[in-house]
A and B are shown apart, each in its own frame.
Chain A
Amino acid sequence: MNSPINPFESAVVRNPKECGGSVASLNKPVLDRITQRFLLLTAENVPKYLRRPAAQLVLSPSPGYGKSHLIGRLYHELGGMATIVHQTPFQSPALVWQAVLNHTVNELCSIDESQPATGRWKIETFANSVICRVTSEILRRGLLLFSHAAEVIAMLESGQVSLHPGTNHPLALTLREIFLTAILPLVGDEVFGIRASRTWSTAFFHLAGAGREDEAFRASVAWLRYEPFETEHAEAFGFQNRVPAAENLSQINQECWLRLLGLCRWSYAFRPFLFCFDQTEDYASRPELAMTLGTAIRRMTDELPGQLTLVTANQDIWQSRIWSFIDSAGQARFDLPPLELKGVRRIEAREFIRVKMHDAQVPDELSARFAEDPWLDELFPGNREIAAREFMRLCRARWDNQPPRPETPDSILQRHVAEFEATAKKLVYDPDAFRWLVSEILPADGTKAEPAGIAGLPPYAELVLPDPEGNRLVFAFFRELQHQQWRFLVAQSERAYDAAQLRKLVIFRTPEQAEIPRPGWAVSGPIIREGLRKHVHLIHLEVKEVALLYAAREFYLEARAGDLPHFDENEVRRFLRDRLSGLCDLTFGPVLPPRQGGFKAPAGEENELDQRTGEIVPPESPC
């Protein structure tokens, strides 16, 4: 059946939202159980303990049984009833809540699949719902006198009032006009039992009504992420500007936890969260990651309302390298026995083929001819099950009439690069990708990145790695800082350098991040600029370089998860080190001052990085 399009080509689910069709009966009990448990979160007359459900563990006997596909099916199944947050592995135990929060905000800042026509982000609908609920509560308490209050409350709670720019509902217009001045002061510090309700309401008001291009909207998203933003914006948009000059990681982690807790508490006005921890094999790389995962699951289960946590894992690696590092209290927070994914059986094989061919728009009669009984009988004697991915591989070979040729490392990397480059939104700053670079790629043989637990290092210092001369490189990972914080950072870096505590502080920047120092920092700007010439090295990556780095990490995670059986993870690491050697050289090289318009490496180093990037990414055509 030679054809240019093989319907069985794509055997690894990379983005659960794009998982394609499914065989309805395959793993249906697993899907049903998770759905049922999730729906209890919003069911009325359910005991309170059922609204803080134990985490759901789903085990796969081996890679390729459809863990990520299951999450994709949950997107389809729960659709507009859930906010499903796909949690890729966190890299920093000290900032686990920052990672979970960032994934959550990223998901909220994506198109609401249940209303694709409106193009709205989930956070806009979520925020709108909160503002309507808060207002109706104020009216219900009689704190604000409104004519026809009962009708107004009913309207607000019906979900028909939208504050989105461009809507002309009379009530929405009134709300937009009076919310900050007349309603917000009445909110108080606590409404519906949620702390700091007034600040939350301020953020939600901007998110509901300002529009995504508005600075108030952006500031509110930054506030949700617990990221600093400009002082003048904070004041103008009604936020209290309490971010200290410097914080340690545990403070940041705790503040991120409080944001996450707040989002879960407010979620009653929108949809409960389904947090899905996937690619968990990566937590097996370091015991502290596995332990942190256990602690995080315990805290989420105990303290976060309005959510169900789902953990998917490959059975043998979970059992031997993760489960045993989770303490008994953490283990007790899982609903046991775990659910288990099943493989394709004889009775599902034909349907499986039909679904894949249907996705590839192959005519039904061809699919019937392809799925011949003698071939299926031979593959499935007795009760045999075959992992979905393996069955895909066998179908692929049958379609091509030859055994499948394994992909080369270059082609895998190139495919990932293309996927990242096609979605600009995926190229925003991801601290975990840079932590991965520092922990897994930069260390030469015999060296290791360690947590920055030494006194006297600059704020936000997170990892320390010796350079080839044995000098200490210190790394910090953050999206933005205020100018006071930058000043403090460069000053502390200089002190640490003078005390021989570091050679330089390295901070990676991605293209969407603002230039540092910002043009408006008249006083702090020159001081920061001077600091950035000495001991603080900002490495500005171009879009292609970010795509390469993020693609490299994705490749590595797949290898580690056992999704690429032809590659050993050490082999993959060596390959990626080679492909990222330009970036490694820049990182180990001297401090280079930032230039207007983005980072420019010296000719040799830049050429090296360009050359490396060019090996896998064709140059952009001028347009």
Chain B
Amino acid sequence: METAPEERNALLELLKAGPRSRTELLKVSGARRQARLAALEELLAQGTVVKLQRRYFLDEPRGSIERLIEAEADHLEKHLHSLPELVARSGMKIRRGVQDPALVGAALDRLLQMGQVVQLEYNGEKLCVHIAHLPLVQREATGRESPGDVPAREESLSYPAVYEAYEQVRVRQLGSAVFIADLAGELKVPLAKLQQWIRQEVIASGRGSLDEGHWPAATEAQREAAVEHLGTKRLLIRF
């Protein structure tokens, strides 16, 4: 169906000023309402407009919403990391972790997808917690039984397991960048296995960052654990 260009333009003008609710977008006289609705549906189908939690966002330039969600996910991750408790998905507390409350759901879904946050259900209510506050769940996920001597793991590495080990190393030092060698030691896995995981999860998927570190000051073991990325060897990892 061909939509009226003036309605499409009117919608784009409204959305340029910021996200809007459906009511705000369709607030026109009865005769124009159908044409406005058709224009909105067409914009949604084209991906020019994105609907998130009952609000409509203009995705121009394309990908800007995705980046907005990434930024909000980052804020939310820090917020949840600072709360050692279960937080209701639909509550006010979780909304304080984002700048635009309309993006809280999308940002949370991103964190759930990345394994940085887990979601539980109790009495029909969805509750979230940062994995840093769930040592028992992590142990179960990673198969660790005790902090004593544990043989090198044969099973594949998971994000929660690596993240837990990373946190363990991080709290013993200043700053957030951890030597890959120290992380492998903490995980008690063969170096090659961790390096493979890093290539897949950090380099390809961006679930963390790699840093060169200070090569002249590094030990042989630290250099051996380095992973090459963007043409240089990286000694350090951060999440």
Which A residues contact B (CB, under 8 angstroms)?
Answer: 57, 59, 61-64, 281, 284, 314-321, 323, 336-338, 340, 343, 345-347, 373, 377, 380-387, 390, 394, 403, 560, 562, 565, 568-569
Q: B27: CB under 8 A from chain A?
A: no
A547 to chain B, nearest CB (A): 27
Whether the pair A384, B67 counts as a contact (CB closer than 8 A) is no
B46-78 interface with A by 8 A CB criterion: 61-63, 67-68, 70-71, 73-74
A347: contacting residue among B70, B114, B205, B211, CB under 8 A: B70
If A62-B177, A385-B209, A394-B230 touch, whether A321 touches B216 (CB-CB below 8 Å) is: no
Whether, in the assembled complex, B232 has its beta carbon less than 8 Å from a beta carbon of chain A, the answer is yes
Can you name 29 A-B residue pairings with CB atoms under 8 Å?
A59-B174, A61-B177, A61-B209, A62-B211, A284-B217, A314-B214, A316-B179, A316-B214, A318-B175, A321-B217, A323-B174, A337-B174, A338-B175, A345-B71, A346-B67, A347-B70, A377-B63, A382-B206, A383-B74, A384-B206, A384-B209, A385-B238, A387-B211, A390-B230, A394-B230, A560-B216, A562-B214, A562-B216, A568-B216
Q: Which residues of B contact A314 (CB under 8 A)?
A: 214
Known: A319-B174, A345-B74, A383-B114; 16 extra A-B contacts, CB below 8 A, are A57-B174, A61-B209, A61-B236, A62-B213, A314-B214, A319-B173, A338-B175, A347-B68, A373-B61, A382-B114, A383-B74, A383-B206, A383-B208, A384-B202, A387-B212, A560-B216
A384 to B205 CA separation, bound complex (whole angstroms): 9
| Number of A-B residue pairs having CB atoms within 8 Å of each other in the complex | 107
B217–A317 touching, CB < 8 Å:
yes
Residue from B63, B174, B207 having most chain A Cβ neighbours under 10 A: B174
For residue B116, which residue of chain A has the nearest CB?
Answer: A383
Within 8 Å CB of B114, what residues of A? 382-383
Q: Is B82 an interface residue (CB 8 A)?
A: no
CA distance A558 to B107 in the complex (A): 41
From the candidates A316, A338, A560, name the one contacting B177 in the complex (CB within 8 A): A316
A343 adjacent to B63 (CB under 8 Å): no
Docked Cα-Cα span, A337 to B212, in Å, equals 23
B215 with A565: CB separation less than 8 A: yes
Which residues on B are within 8 Å of A, measured CB to CB?
61-63, 67-68, 70-71, 73-74, 114, 173-177, 179, 202, 204-209, 211-218, 230-232, 235-236, 238
Beyond A314-B214, A340-B175, A346-B70, whether A384 also contacts B236 by CB under 8 A is no
Pair A381/B205 contact, Cβ less than 8 Å: yes
**A380/B212 contact (C-beta < 8 A), A59-B174, A338-B174 known:** no
Q: B202: which A residues are within 8 A, CB to CB?
A: 384
Please give me the residue from chain A that is nearest to B175 by CB atom.
A315
- Report chain A residues within 8 Å CB of B63: 373, 377
Q: Which residues of chain A are near B179, meaning CB under 8 Å? A: 316
User: Do residues B212 and A565 form an inter-chain contact, with CB atoms below 8 A?
Assistant: yes
Q: A382-B206, A394-B230 are in contact. Are A318 and B174 (CB under 8 A)?
A: yes
Q: How far is the CA of A63 from the CA of B232 in the complex (A)?
A: 13
Complex CA–CA separation, A337 to B74 (angstroms): 20
From the candidates B176, B230, B235, name the one contacting A340 in the complex (CB within 8 A).
Answer: B176
The residue on A at minimum CB distance from B201 is: A382
Complex Cα distance A33/B215, Å? 30
- Bound CA–CA A63/B63 (angstroms): 31
- What is the CA–CA distance of A337 and B175 in the complex, to the nearest angstrom? 8
Q: Would you call A316 and B217 a contact (CB within 8 A)?
A: yes
**A62 in contact with B175 given A314-B214, A562-B216 (CB within 8 Å):** no
Would A382 and B236 count as touching, CB distance under 8 A?
Answer: no
Q: Judging by beta carbons under 8 Å apart, are B217 and A320 in contact?
A: yes
Task: Decide: A315 near B216, CB < 8 A? Known: A61-B211, A346-B70.
Answer: no
Measured CB to CB, the closest approach of chain B to A178, in angstroms, equals: 56
| B61–A386 touching, CB < 8 Å | no
Q: How far is the CB of A560 from chain B (nearest CB, A)?
A: 8
> In the complex, A339→B173 CA distance in Å?
13
Cβ-closest chain A residue relative to B238: A61
B67, B68, B204, B205 — most chain A CB neighbours (10 Å): B67
For the complex formed, measure the closest distance between the CB of A314 and the CB atoms of chain B, giving whole angstroms: 6
Which A residues are in CB contact (< 8 Å) with B176? 61, 315, 340
Question: What's the least CB distance linking B13 to chain A, in Å?
Answer: 22
Of chain A, the residue at the smallest CB distance from B63 is: A373
Q: Which residues of chain A are within 8 angstroms of B206 by Cβ–Cβ distance? A: 380-384
Q: How far is the CB of B226 from chain A (nearest CB, A)?
A: 12
CB distance from B239 to the nearest CB of A (A): 8
A512 to chain B, nearest CB (A): 36
CB-defined contacts of A281 to chain B, threshold 8 Å:
214
B176 — nearest CB in chain A belongs to which residue? A340
Complex CA gap A562/B205 in Å reads: 28
Which residues of A sit under 8 angstroms from B214, Cβ to Cβ? 62-63, 281, 314, 316-317, 562
Q: Which residues of A contact B73 (CB under 8 A)?
A: 383
In Å, the complex CA distance between A380 and B67 comes to 10
A343–B208 Cα distance when bound, in Å, is 12
Distance of A56 from chain B, by nearest CB (Å): 13
Q: How far is the CB of B2 from chain A (nearest CB, A)?
A: 29
Q: Are B61 and A62 in contact (CB under 8 A)?
A: no
Complex alpha-carbon distance, A64 and B207, angstroms:
21
A345→B231 CA distance, assembly (Å): 19
Could you tell me the distance between the alpha carbons of A386 and B74 in the complex, rounded to whole angstroms?
15
Q: Of the candidates B208, B230, B231, B236, which one forms a contact with A62 in the assembled complex, judged by CB atoms under 8 Å apart?
A: B236
- In angstroms, Cα B209 to Cα A55, docked, is 28
**Judging by beta carbons under 8 Å apart, are B213 and A316 in contact?**
yes
Which A residue sits closest to B172, measured CB to CB?
Answer: A319
